[in-house]
Chains A and B, each alone.
Chain A
């Protein structure tokens, strides 16, 4: 993190290529991180970093979902310019969702279903799944080995909306983020959802994921702030987020496997 003026702690949150990876509202994750920092007196700057320009240096990077063609172009551009990889080496935090999750892995399928090189920030590989996309509400319990929240307790279960056609397999250097209770998730048959390694977190969850899971947002902020984060990340009034979480979790519980759309996918 960078030093702020007048003793304030400063953070830069970068939404990576919203013009390519902005199809599913995931840009909201960057806004949520920046607001939750600012509401605690942290001097947070939110940067919407469109493709075609050098990626700025930041403390937190958010990548979202997108379509096949733009996903390939985003990966090519990020690999060619190298800023994101260097930032991660220097301790930057990454939240990568859906197409973003796939492209920070080792490989992902392009529109023609040929493997395309990813950034290799997470040891995961994605291939195309069956003919049916995984579309619907997803609930997953955090992996016991995943990092704890800023309150020292395990993160609460994740809620979100998945919409993807990929099957993601975890390599030995990536840990599962969560285990699916309802929905598909990574879809590789091991029941996992998402992955993490170091300060890079990948997930299939939209919603956006941080709107429904603010404990994860605060965990990422804590990583970015480093030592002394505990004192800065004072509790916020999250009544509206809690109400949203409760409603979504209840909707899935009352619909059984449902809350899912007509193009329902079976567990692969």
Chain B
């Protein structure tokens, strides 16, 4: 099979469309409107609506979707699929543009890459399965996010179910695509059950609030809250019908990946936090499921994990920057499940680190920040906390009722400096002050990064 992709394989119309997309991208960059990826992709799709399918043809494609961890997991899978972990030969949308226009732009931008790893907005999974014909689909989790934009969790899961049922024999080379699904999330399990070939992974799911109603019968999902996971804990079943956690082929146990054959694989990954170890487990199962490059052996679980150990950040997330002699760690979380996971991460770090919380409510964030009241801010009691961002007043009121002492500084850079000055400015011994932890939701994070 040929995996090299050239313009000769594009239809005349698709070639014109790809040219239009590239031209618009170049123009957009010239005009200083950012990378212009989405604008170019839109232009290309306007010329040829089948452009995405044309561009994806003859490549091996993996899709990554879910509410939380999409971007990071996509970056991890890219690293796991490349020989030196640097992403060579892989087309990917690492700008967060996870709708078809962004996919088109990513594929045009890496015209000769034989592999595509695409982050997919939850609402577009069906279209991407149909047009990009993936070999692997990774389903991370499903919880509430941007309720004013995306359909509620149950509507979404029904659409996934229909889309995943179409997977039989649809892979690029006629092989049955592999779905790598988080068995610990009942909503994901309900959707993935319709797929012909599923690798069930116990990646954990701290957020249960959107999954208490059984999607099969309306009964109640009961979770075994077994904190000291011995490999059997964290299960769930419906109290009315026989819907229960599927048999897992791999799972996360503390800091190890355990396979059903009993082998343990330590997770020495470069990214922090239990949620990233969960993402790594999904990738360690997904990477070996990809068809190997011609003449190359398949990637092994350990090979994938070794590559992940060298990955320190993804799209700036978890990166550390220096500002006025102080380290600032940049963290992104978009919804209650994501913020809760980041609080777990903060528990692993220096309790003396000041925390800057930044919240916006633009279209990409969702216009309604009511979700702040589902975030357990009470866990920050005792820390130095600064509320910032365009919706810092919503945050300030939430922190007041969590009884978390805080300052409110609307400008994020001033907030960082206020937090840095609040600790470590005393006359103590000359030890390096702990880093400032900056946690922002989507546009709050992007805005700060662009200003640093």
Contact = CB atoms under 8 A, between A and B. Distances in A.
Interface of A: 18-20, 22-28, 31-32, 35, 50-52, 67-70, 72-73, 135-137, 161, 163, 206-208, 211, 240-241, 243-244, 247, 259-263
Interface of B: 144, 147-149, 152-154, 209-210, 212-213, 218, 220, 239, 363, 367-368, 370-374, 393-394, 396-398, 400-401, 403, 408
B363 A211 contact: no
A66 B366 CA distance: 17
A67 B153 contact: yes
A243 B153 CA distance: 33
Contact of B212 (A19, A25, A243): A19
B370 A206 contact: yes
B393 A244 contact: yes
Contacts of B397: 211, 240-241, 244
Contact of A25 (B149, B210, B372): B372
Main secondary structure of the interface of A (DSSP, over half): mixed
A183 to B, nearest CB: 12
Interface hub of A28, A32, A243, A247 (most chain B Cβ within 10 A): A28
19 contacts: A18-B209, A22-B209, A24-B368, A26-B373, A27-B373, A35-B401, A51-B212, A67-B152, A72-B218, A73-B213, A73-B218, A136-B148, A161-B148, A163-B147, A163-B148, A243-B396, A247-B393, A261-B149, A263-B148
B373 A23 contact: no
Contacts of B363: 261-262
The 4 closest A-B pairs by CB, nearest first: A28-B373, A25-B370, A25-B373, A244-B393
Main secondary structure of the interface of B (DSSP, over half): mixed
A113 to B, nearest CB: 14
Contacts of A51: 212, 220
Given A161-B148, A163-B368, A240-B400, 15 more contacts: A18-B209, A19-B212, A24-B147, A31-B401, A69-B154, A211-B373, A211-B394, A241-B400, A244-B393, A244-B394, A244-B397, A247-B393, A260-B367, A261-B148, A262-B149
A72 B373 CA distance: 24
A18 B208 CA distance: 12
A20 B153 CA distance: 13
A25 B374 contact: yes
A50 B147 CA distance: 22
Contacts of A73: 213, 218
A69 B213 contact: yes
Contacts of A243: 393, 396
A26 B373 CA distance: 7
Given A240-B408, A243-B396, A52 B220 contact: yes
